[in-house]
Homo-oligomer: A and B are copies of this chain.
Amino acid sequence: MKLYFENSYEALSQRAAALLLAAMARDRRVNIAITAGNSPRETYSIVTRHINAAPDNYRNVHYYNFDEVPIAGESKGYTLRELDQLYFQPAGIAESQIHPLTCENYTTQDQAIDDAGGLDFMLIGLGADGHFCGNMPYAVKFEEKIYRIPITREYSWYSSLTALCGNDPVPEWFVTMGAASLMKVRQLVMIVNGLNKAETVKHFFESPVDTAFPASILKLHPNFTVICDKEAVSRLSS
């Protein structure tokens, strides 16, 4: 694990954007999975400026979402809808460069990624409850590649997921890449910022591998970089 503790959210975003842009600097196809959420906003705005300044330099980059919560009657789920706003639209990414994971294709998407050369890079966040991608506490199955998870009341995260749906009906399932998919990603980068993640970050470093804190498994990844801002690491004893 490579750690960067940055002085500010801005510095964190610069670091993450530089790694993303470096991963794109190939003359061959590059396959990248990116996260939705608030943490990557500034990272994406830096990357977007680069892409808009020289779009042809980035036609070789293909994008994948690593989880999805479906919206009834819509072809795009909550994740893809958010990625559209956050990244794909501002960066002008062509449809042909976007390869959605959905509840319909989740049993074949591992193979599709594999047939495209595998994922070169993945940017993820860290959930306050220790989840990564859609690998939720206690529901996570570490041995899985892409799998689906039932949305049931027994789980602590049930309410946050239903909140996401607002007035839409709550779907029965959602899908996510599992730890076995992530271990195959050539470079894994996690960004964590803000005081509200300070306790989570402390737990991340201290927890053994445990389904109660899914991100604990990521410590096994062979090429894993963690970028935190000062606030996120404020609970760590130096």
Contacts and interface: CB of A to CB of B under 8 A. Distances in A.
A220 B117 contact: no
A19 interface: yes
Interface string A3-16: 11100000000000
10 contacts: A2-B25, A2-B26, A21-B22, A28-B114, A28-B118, A114-B117, A142-B208, A179-B220, A180-B220, A217-B220
Interface in A189-219: 208-209, 216-217, 219
Contacts of A209: 142-143, 209, 217
A235 interface: no
A57 B222 CA distance: 18
Contact of A208 (B19, B143, B208): B143
A143 B220 contact: yes
Contact of A21 (B3, B18, B223): B18
A117 B29 CA distance: 8
Contact of A19 (B22, B116, B217): B22
Nearest to A207: B143
Contact of A26 (B18, B142, B183, B223): B223
A154 interface: no
A76 interface: no
Interface of A: 1-5, 18-19, 21-23, 25-29, 54, 57, 114-118, 141-143, 179-180, 183-184, 208-209, 216-217, 219-225
A221 B224 CA distance: 14
Which 9 A/B pairs are nearest by Cβ-Cβ distance?
A: A117-B117, A22-B22, A142-B209, A2-B27, A184-B222, A18-B18, A28-B114, A183-B220, A143-B219
Contacts of A29: 114-115
Contacts of A2: 25-27, 57
A168 to B, nearest CB: 32
A142 B221 CA distance: 12
A3 B208 CA distance: 29
B222 A220 contact: no
A203 to B, nearest CB: 13
